[in-house]
Amino acid sequence: MDLYKDISYLKGVGPAKAKVLAAELGIRTYADILDYLPFRYVDRSVISPISSIREDDSFVVVKGVLSNMQTLATGPRRERLTVDLFDGSGYIQLVWFAGTKWVRERLKTNVEYLVMGKPAVFNNVWQITHPDIEPLSSVDDGARHPLMPVYHTTDKMKQHGLGTRALARITETLILAISQSDSPTIPENLPDDILRHFRLIPRREAMLAVHYPDSRQQLDQARLRLKFEELFFLQLDYQYAHLQRVSRSQGRIFAHVGLLFNRFYKEKIPFPLTGAQKRVIREIREDMRTGRQMNRLVQGDVGSGKTLVALMCMLLAVDNGSQACLMAPTEILATQHFYTFSRMLDGLDINVQLLTGSLRAASKKKLKEQLANGEIHILIGTHALIEDDVAFRDLGLVVIDEQHRFGVEQRAKLWQKSLVPPHILVMTATPIPRTLAMTLYGDLDCSVIDELPPGRQPVRTYHRLERNRPLVFSFLKQQIDAGRQVYIVYPLIEGERDRSGANPSKGERDRSGANPSTQSEKMDLKNLQDGLEMVQSYFPRPQYQTSMVHGRLTAEEKAFEMDRFKRGLTHIMVATTVIEVGVDVPNASVMVIENAERFGLSQLHQLRGRVGRGADQAYCILMTKDDLSYTSQERIRTMCSTTDGFQIAEADLRLRGPGDIQGLQQSGALDLRLASIVDDEPLVKATRDTVHDLLVADPTLARYPLLQQHIANSKNKMLWGKIS
Ligand code: ADP
Ligand code: MG
């Protein structure tokens, strides 16, 4: 049997359904449908009585008879179809907004149906919107398979008769055909000794059972086998790539510690390094002098002093005759780094320049010349750095600040700016939970700055409501009168993310000053302006001065306002999340976050990190509306109870799942279909260690033709993109 056959040949599919499957799920062949795994199983013996449905049921299976079908016009060519399902214990309403015609023509009253879906209460009525529904008679062949697979489907699929039950029937047909054929069809891909050691069932058996398990126990075995396989190959990809890089790729050798580094260390450094900073610098030096190319992630909580570490490593590169660059995600941040560097390096014989999108053409041209002939030693900038016409004479070290803001291709482009790949240092304050780091960064060496500079006191965090505002403001007044400064942050104006983030073409749109386009952008902008007015009426000029910064300002306007605040000319900075990363004004002592319920945990943590950067006590005040959802409450509670970035990251992972964690969107860990890096930590460890031992014993995989095969197949997909 050929698994690469077109799906339309499969019984029960046909050309029309094949088209929908391809469009909606990318399923084209028999193999594709086999790979489309159920996301849950329904035990037929546990059909619930309708009366027992509860609010927190995320999915129910009920059966009953239909009555009272009604269509309501909700607009030109739009309608809403409802029908009641009754099972003797109670009613639940089934609702359709789309595909109503199809449903109306097929559903019959007085016939028993099996219905599945997510229940919700609307206007005091229990409902299931767009349920999966089919006549009970067509389901009741079930004695053989007590557990019914449930597949994700789309509304479009349901409208074409491709609900989860239909998919289940299609896979069943296929599985029957496969199990009756003699040829292996689903070949094994894990080596024998590993199967034996971990007592895993064969791939073929697992693939069939994962769709139609005979028992709970068999299902568990099948899932274990498939999860193992998934994590194993992820680890193999990473670790094999790592091995290749370490053994093959040439790196520059920065062997000596030169004049710049030494003079900086002896004369310029404004404070003693923390133990953690010293250790990390040592680790980096170690890397850069071995002759292999460095690919290192430096994690350090906000305020841990990553900038200084980066600066000193860049001096090392320059001391060894290379150029270095630092790429920051926003113009504000790049500019700030530039001033910090210039100030700290004042008096040393070194040329540091800034390149951002708002640099004028003439200056830009000159800068590029100096870069190409080596006159510039250190270049700091935004994604303007990666434009094709920016050429270095000899780029030896690339530092990427706040890496989660950059897309994969952007990093790859920097990498290509040099014949011999430059050393790469990626710095992030977004703490990554350990399991995740283990999975994600198989090919990245990690350093952690796990110590804050001495004398820092943890920021005190409080939760306040609108009715507490007078007290909050009088507290701000006290702080300002005592000579401190204050941030008040409002939720994002839509589109800011583009501007500061991943997309370079939109990236420098700052200067267009475009009007907000969506409704929510308008709302946010209005919010911000109302906020500013309120602040200014409470803190009147000229006694109190206020700055405002948001993503709609031009880069110059932003820089101007930031600078005024930084120099202490204004007391209050009203801003959106443009100031989220890296901004450093040690005199600021209070961070007020408005509508804090709208921010994610890592964002709240980042924002809070803007204060408490000096020796004095700092405060963070989370303003929210009164009634908060469960997860918002949990986020606020977490923030008030800890300042430890790792704990916050773990809480974030728990509350949201890895899919939402910033910066992980393009990483392989999210392509995981079965395994979960949260719940399957032991398995992550086991596969990591297994792969490690295997590669130590047999680096070329000579004894494992199956694994060699896998490497050959995945090579094309594994650019360095996945690596960092
Ligand atoms: P982040 O890791 O968040 O990027 P920064 O590099 O911006 O942190 O440093 C935060 C603040 O701490 C800065 O004001 C910096 O000058 C200061 N700092 C850095 N290292 C030390 C140190 N070893 N001792 C005292 N202050 C330090
Ligand atoms: Mg920083």
| 453 Cα–ligand 1 center, Å | 7
Residue 436 or residue 524, greater confidence: 524
* Closest approach atom of ligand 1 to CA 309: 6
Q: Is 273 in the pocket of ligand 1 (CB under 6 A)?
A: yes
Flag whether pLDDT at 670 surpasses 70: no
- What DSSP assignment string belongs to 631-651? HHHHHHHHHHH---HHHHHHH
Whole-angstrom distance, CA of residue 640 vs CA of residue 215 = 46
Residues 488-527 have pLDDT tens digits of 999 865 444 433 333 333 333 333 334 555 677 777 778 8
User: Nearest residue CA, atom 17 of ligand 1?
Assistant: 305
What spacing in Å lies between the alpha carbon of 302 and ligand 2's midpoint? 7
Examine residue 680 and state whether it is found in any structural domain, yes or no. Answer: no
Q: Which amino acid is at 203?
A: R
pLDDT the model gives residue 440? 56
Is the CB of 453 inside a 6 Å radius of any atom of ligand 1?
yes
pLDDT of the residue at 718: 43
> Of the bound ligands, which one is closest to the alpha carbon of residue 611?
1
For residue 579, the model assigns a pLDDT of 72
Residue 657 lies in a domain: no
Tell me which residue of 325, 385, 442, 384 sits closest to 677, measured CA to CA: 442
Does residue 181 share a domain with residue 201?
A: no
Contact between 316 and 378 (Cβ < 8 Å): no
Is 253 among the domain residues?
A: no
Expressed as residue numbers, the domain containing 25 is: 1-39+151-185
Stretch among 133-137, 279-283, 540-544 having the lowest mean pLDDT: 133-137
Token pair 């529904």 is at which residue?
Answer: 133
Q: Looking at the CA of 298, which ligand is closest?
A: 1
Q: Counting runs of H as helices and runs of E as strands, what totals does the chain give?
A: 25, 22
- Is 346 found in the same domain as 418? yes
Residues 117 and 48 in one domain: yes
- HSE at residue 398, side-chain half, CA atoms within 13 A, is 30
Q: Are residues 32 and 83 in the same domain?
A: no
Split into its structural domains, the chain has a count of: 5
In whole numbers, what is the pLDDT of the chain averaged over residues?
A: 84
CA distance 696 to 707: 15
Ligand 1 mutation target, pool 314, 613, 616, most atoms within 8 A of CB: 613
Q: Is the pLDDT of residue 659 over 60?
A: no
Atom 18 in ligand 1: residue holding the nearest Cα: 305
* CA 263 to ligand 1 centroid distance, Å: 20
Residue 687 located in a structural domain: no
Q: How confident is the model at residue 392 (pLDDT cuts 50, 70, 90)?
A: very high
- For residue 379, the CA-to-ligand 1 centroid distance in Å is 20
Ligand 1 atom nearest the C-alpha of 272 is: 23
Task: For residues 130 and 161, state if they share a domain.
Answer: no
For residue 724, being part of any structural domain is answered with: no
CB 274 near ligand 1, within 6 Å: yes
Q: Is the CB of 304 under 6 A from ligand 1?
A: yes
Q: Which of 20-24, 446-450, 576-580, 674-678 has the highest mean pLDDT?
A: 20-24
| pLDDT above 70 for 671 | no
What's residue 504's pLDDT? 32
Domain assignment of residue 54, yes or no: yes
Asked if residue 9 has its Cβ within 6 Å of ligand 1, the reply is: no
Which ligand has an atom closest to residue 326 CA? 2
The CATH number for 13's domain is: 1.10.150.20
Q: How far is CA 144 from the centre of its chain?
A: 42
Q: Which residue has the higher pLDDT, 641 or 105?
A: 641
577 and 533 in one domain? yes
For residue 371, what is the domain's CATH number?
A: 3.40.50.300
Instruction: Tell me the per-residue pLDDT of 281-330, one tens digit each, with 9 for 90 and over.
Output: 999 999 898 888 888 888 888 888 999 999 999 999 999 999 999 998 88
Query: 445 CA to middle of ligand 2, Å?
Result: 19
In this structure, the answer to whether residues 422 and 331 fall within a common structural domain is: yes
What is the CA(267)–ligand 1 centre distance, in A?
A: 18
Q: Are residues 63 and 114 in the same domain?
A: yes
Q: Which of 79 and 245 is assigned the larger pLDDT?
A: 79
Q: Which atom of ligand 1 is nearest to the CA of 274?
A: 23
In this prediction, residue 4 carries a pLDDT of: 86
Note whether 523 and 625 are same-domain residues: yes
pLDDT digits (tens, 9 = 90+) for 102-117: 888 888 888 889 898 8
605: CA distance to ligand 2 center in Å? Answer: 13
For residues 617 and 469, state if they share a domain.
yes
With pLDDT > 90 as the criterion, what percentage of the chain qualifies? 43
pLDDT on residue 368: 94
pLDDT (0 to 100) of residue 426:
86
Range in 32-41, 594-603, 675-684 with the lowest mean pLDDT: 675-684
Report which of residues 143 and 383 the model is more confident about.
383
Q: Could you read off the pLDDT of 140-190 as tens digits, one per residue? A: 555 556 788 888 888 888 888 888 888 988 998 898 888 888 777 888 999
Residues 509, 606 within the same domain: yes
Taking the CA of residue 306 as reference, the ligand 1 atom at the shortest distance is 2
Which burial class, exposed, middle or buried, applies to 307 when counting CB atoms under 10 A from its CB (0-12, 13-18, 19+)? buried
Q: Identity (one letter) of the amino acid at 595?
A: N
Confidence class of residue 669 from pLDDT cuts 50, 70 and 90?
A: very low
Question: Distance between CA 216 and CA 198 in Å, rounded?
Answer: 19
Least confident of 21-30, 86-95, 393-402, 547-556: 547-556
Question: Ligand 2 centre from 186 Cα, in Å?
Answer: 50
Q: What is the pLDDT of residue 144?
A: 57
Question: Is residue 390 in some structural domain?
Answer: yes
pLDDT over 70 at 716, yes or no: no
Beta carbons of 488 and 572 less than 8 angstroms apart: yes
The domain that contains 50 carries what CATH number? 2.40.50.140
| Ligand 1 binding pocket mutation candidate from 344, 380, 403, 584 (most atoms within 8 A of CB) | 584
| Residue 379 forms part of a structural domain | yes
Looking at 379, 410, 428, the residue that finishes a domain is: 428
**Most ligand 1 atoms within 8 A of CB, residue of 307, 339, 345 to mutate:** 307
- Using the 3D structure, point to which of 603, 622, 642 is the last residue of a domain: 642
Domain match, 203 and 112 both:
no
Answer whether residue 55 shows pLDDT above 80: no
Tell me the pLDDT tens digit for each residue of 316-375.
Answer: 999 999 999 999 888 888 988 999 999 999 999 999 999 988 888 899 999 999 999 999
- SS3 annotation, 261-322: HHHHHHHHCCCCCCHHHHHHHHHHHHHHCCCECCEEEEEECCCCCHHHHHHHHHHHHHHCCC
Q: Where are the beta strands (DSSP E) in 554-657?
A: 572-575, 588-593, 619-624
Alpha-carbon span 139 to 457, nearest angstrom:
64
* pLDDT in the model for residue 431: 64
Q: In 27-175, which ranges are E strands?
A: 40-43, 60-75, 78-86, 91-96, 112-117, 119-122, 125-129, 132-135, 147-150
In sign, the C-alpha dihedral spanning 646, 649, 653, 658 is: negative
Residue 610 has pLDDT above 70, yes or no: yes
